């Protein structure tokens, strides 16, 4: 078997690593790593190396602000470029299936533990890197090897964040949306769904260049997420969450022995609270970042001083004994939404479904199949557009209220 090479970084030291797993594979922390640990020693105060995991299409170099801050705080910091895929529309790192990328991270962490003789690692994930770390923790045995887990705009649950008038600041549960579309267009593909979400509903265009990547396919794979979490985040038929106010169903989305700190930016139009926050628990803190809001909040938060300080605080927690940390934000809280659905929200979800089906037909020339002898109606006459405009304004007000 040929072994693929990728770059691993420890602090500012670049190292080569063998990323394809084989029984005889050598320790990937090869010549040069000893120089780092001559300068950076694990201590009683900082006993764990910190492994940084970048997002889809990113690389370790994009986490420089995090690495530099942690190095100044006295941490030993390391990371690797994982999940390389060559794609006609983009490519780069972090594009492989989440579980394949998690295998690479698992191998890397094992090598780091062996090299440093540390008992555990701390991990910091950005965006899709959080989803890779979740797979590592929940499915690859990482729960016993991780002390603290910090995420920046993380992928804990498979939602897409919309910022379009009438559906302002809402999250779409992607597995159920694909299932909904296939009720009317059985041959509907993930590429067609993402293309329509990007072009019509302002889903972040980061996904547009990599529509065929295994990673994007995973976002819509209900079987994968149900297996990872022990069940879905939304019941069948529910695909829209309003004002990013959480999820309808509790899941097993965290390991009890790990200290979690999840940072979500109020201006992040790729990841909202439904995606980036976990269910309330004694070891989970969900933090709403409201400072220095920018148009590219999803990436700019990596250099945000408030976010970096919250990260450092998160790494210093001790949750092994269940110390009573509660879900909280900077100025707001995450609430599960099972008892919060209002008739206006249900009506708006129906309107979104109609608009989504119309957009699919317009964008891709799809024709709906008859269901039970009836052709699907493209618009509900029961939901006036003016009411949805008002609902959008109310959701915008609600978001501003959370941020104030």
Given a contact cutoff of 8 angstroms between Cβ atoms, the answer to whether 324 and 271 are in contact is no
- Give the distance between the most distant pair of CA atoms in the chain: 74
| Alpha carbon 236 to chain centroid, angstroms | 22
| Length in residues, the chain | 404
Q: Give the C-alpha distances (Å, rounded to integers) separating 255 from 6, 268, 277, 287.
A: 30, 26, 14, 18
Q: What is the pLDDT of residues 261-302, one digit of tens each?
A: 999 988 787 888 899 999 988 899 999 998 888 888 899 999
H or E element at residue 380: none
Q: Is 200 helix (H, G, I), strand (E, B) or coil?
A: helix
Give the Cα separation of 67 and 60 in Å (integer).
9
Give the Cα separation of 297 and 302 in Å (integer).
9
Q: Give the C-alpha distances (Å, rounded to integers) separating 178 from 253, 256, 356.
A: 22, 31, 11
- What pLDDT tens digit does each residue of the chain (404 aa) get? 333 333 344 333 323 232 222 223 333 333 334 455 556 789 999 999 999 999 998 898 899 999 999 999 999 998 889 999 876 655 689 999 999 999 999 999 998 898 889 999 999 999 999 999 999 999 999 999 999 999 999 999 999 877 654 555 678 899 999 999 999 999 999 989 988 888 877 666 655 555 678 999 999 999 999 999 999 999 998 888 876 667 889 999 999 999 999 999 887 878 888 999 999 888 999 999 988 888 888 999 999 999 999 999 999 988 754 433 434 443 333 333 334 444 467 777 888 889 899 999 998 888 776 444 444 444 433 333 333 333 343 344 334 333 33
Give the Cα separation of 89 and 95 in Å (integer).
12
First vs last C-alpha separation in the chain: 56
Domain boundaries, the chain: 10-18+45-158+245-315, 161-243+337-403
Give the Cα separation of 129 and 302 in Å (integer).
13
Hunting for tokens 């201006």 — which residue is that? 267
Give the Cα separation of 290 and 51 in Å (integer).
26
pLDDT score recorded for residue 338: 39
Give the Cα separation of 96 and 3 in Å (integer).
16
Give the Cα separation of 195 and 237 in Å (integer).
21
pLDDT score recorded for residue 211: 62
Give the fold, CATH level 3, of 10-18+45-158+245-315: Rossmann fold (3.40.50)
Portion of the chain with pLDDT greater than 90, in percent: 46
pLDDT score recorded for residue 17: 31
Short-list 188, 110, 395, CA closest to 273: 395
pLDDT score recorded for residue 384: 36
pLDDT score recorded for residue 264: 92
pLDDT score recorded for residue 218: 95
Given a contact cutoff of 8 angstroms between Cβ atoms, the answer to whether 174 and 232 are in contact is no
* Pairing of the two strands 259-265 and 284-289: parallel
- 43: DSSP letter: -
Positive or negative, the Cα torsion across 158, 81, 293, 148? Answer: positive
Give the Cα separation of 86 and 57 in Å (integer).
11
């Amino acid at each position: 078997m040929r072994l693929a090479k990728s770059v691993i970084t420890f602090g500012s030291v670049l190292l080569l690593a063998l990323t394809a797993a084989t029984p005889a594979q050598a320790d990937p922390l090869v010549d040069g790593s000893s120089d780092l640990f001559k300068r950076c020693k694990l201590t009683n105060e900082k006993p764990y190396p910190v492994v940084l995991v970048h997002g889809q299409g990113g690389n370790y170099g994009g986490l420089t602000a995090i690495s530099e801050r942690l190095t100044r705080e006295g941490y030993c910091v390391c990371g690797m470029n994982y999940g390389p895929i060559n794609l006609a529309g983009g490519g780069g790192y972090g594009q492989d299936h989440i579980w394949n990328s998690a295998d690479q991270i698992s191998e890397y962490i094992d090598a780091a533990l062996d090299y440093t003789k540390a008992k555990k690692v701390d991990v910091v994930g950005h965006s899709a890197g959080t989803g890779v770390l979740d797979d590592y923790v929940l499915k690859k045995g990482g729960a016993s090897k991780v002390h603290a887990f910090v995420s920046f705009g993380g992928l804990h649950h498979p939602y897409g964040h919309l910022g379009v008038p009438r559906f302002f600041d809402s999250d779409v549960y992607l597995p159920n949306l694909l299932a909904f579309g296939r009720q009317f267009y059985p041959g509907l593909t993930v590429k067609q769904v993402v293309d329509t979400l990007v072009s019509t509903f302002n889903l972040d265009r980061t996904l547009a260049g990599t529509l065929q990547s295994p990673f994007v396919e995973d976002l819509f794979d209900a079987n994968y997420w149900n297996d990872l979490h022990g069940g879905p985040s939304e019941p069948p038929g529910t695909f829209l969450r309003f004002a990013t106010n959480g999820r309808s169903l509790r899941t097993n989305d965290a390991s009890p022995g790990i200290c979690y700190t999840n940072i979500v930016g109020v201006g992040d139009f790729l990841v909202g609270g439904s995606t980036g926050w976990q269910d309330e628990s004694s070891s989970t803190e969900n933090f709403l970042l409201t400072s220095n809001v920018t148009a590219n909040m999803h990436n700019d938060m990596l250099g945000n001083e408030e976010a970096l300080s919250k990260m450092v605080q998160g790494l210093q927690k001790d949750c092994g004994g269940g110390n009573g940390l509660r879900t909280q934000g900077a100025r707001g809280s995450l609430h599960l939404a099972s008892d919060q659905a209002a008739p206006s929200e249900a009506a708006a979800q129906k309107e979104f479904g109609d608009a989504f089906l119309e957009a699919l037909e317009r964008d891709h020339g799809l024709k709906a199949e008859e269901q039970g002898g009836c052709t699907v109606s493209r618009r509900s006459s029961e939901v006036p557009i003016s009411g949805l405009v008002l609902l959008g304004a109310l959701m915008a007000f609600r978001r501003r209220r959370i941020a104030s």
